[in-house]
């Protein structure tokens, strides 16, 4: 009888251990899926932001191109720039609201935010140049735009490594 009880007890222990192991495996799968969902959500948000910023920049640069060939005067270009500045600020705010799931993604997001901030600052200095004619403002604008491109490139490289 003792032998039968030991066998039964061993079966119960094995059954409980098996159930516990399956529960642990299920828990780990859920955690991994949750992390994958957070990663995918961030990637989609980041890519959407990049797309919006690219479209805004192209649109604004088209206006700058018209100004460069004298289709627009300074006053009109100042007005156009004033219309674009809040749109750039909205993109900066959106980028700051990204929710990176890991430090690596956070680095890519921070670099992109810095890029957008520099582009916004560049446009402000360009507007100041249009208003004052101060060439130092134009030079600052150009430097900031170049820096924005550098940060954007670094952000894309950091993001690409994570895909």
The string of pLDDT tens digits covering residues 77-94 is: 999 999 999 999 999 999
**pLDDT value for 1:** 52
**pLDDT value for 158:** 93
**pLDDT value for 36:** 78
1-39 per-residue burial string, b: 16 or more CB within 10 A, e: under 16 = eeeeeeeeeeeeeeeeeeeeeeeeeeeeeeeeeeeeeeb
Mean pLDDT on 139-156 = 97
Instruction: Tell me the pLDDT of the chain averaged across its residues.
Output: 91
Query: In the predicted model, is pLDDT for residue 139 greater than 90?
Result: yes
Query: Could you tell me which residue, 17 or 142, shows the higher pLDDT?
Result: 142
- Give the separation between CA 147 and CA 53, rounded to whole angstroms: 16
Band (pLDDT 50/70/90 cuts) for residue 2 is low
**pLDDT value for 6:** 74
- Spell out the residues 6+ positions from residue 122 whose beta carbon is closer than 8 angstroms to its own: 140, 141, 142, 144, 145, 148
Mean pLDDT on 101-105 = 88
């Amino acid at each position: 009888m003792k032998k039968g009880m030991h066998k039964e007890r061993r079966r119960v222990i094995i059954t409980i251990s098996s159930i516990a192991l399956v529960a642990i495996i299920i828990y780990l799968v859920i955690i991994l899926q949750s992390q994958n969902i957070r990663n995918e959500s961030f990637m989609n948000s980041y890519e959407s932001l990049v797309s919006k910023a690219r479209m805004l920049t192209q649109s604004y640069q088209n206006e700058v191109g018209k100004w460069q060939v004298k289709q627009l005067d300074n006053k009109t270009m100042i007005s156009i720039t004033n219309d674009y500045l809040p749109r750039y600020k909205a993109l900066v705010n959106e980028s700051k609201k990204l929710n990176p799931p890991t430090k690596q993604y956070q680095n890519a997001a921070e670099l992109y935010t810095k890029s957008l901030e520099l582009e916004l600052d560049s446009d402000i200095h360009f507007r100041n140049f249009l208003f004052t004619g101060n060439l130092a403002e134009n030079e600052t604008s150009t430097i900031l735009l170049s820096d924005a491109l550098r940060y954007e490139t670094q952000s894309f490289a950091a993001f690409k490594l994570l895909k």
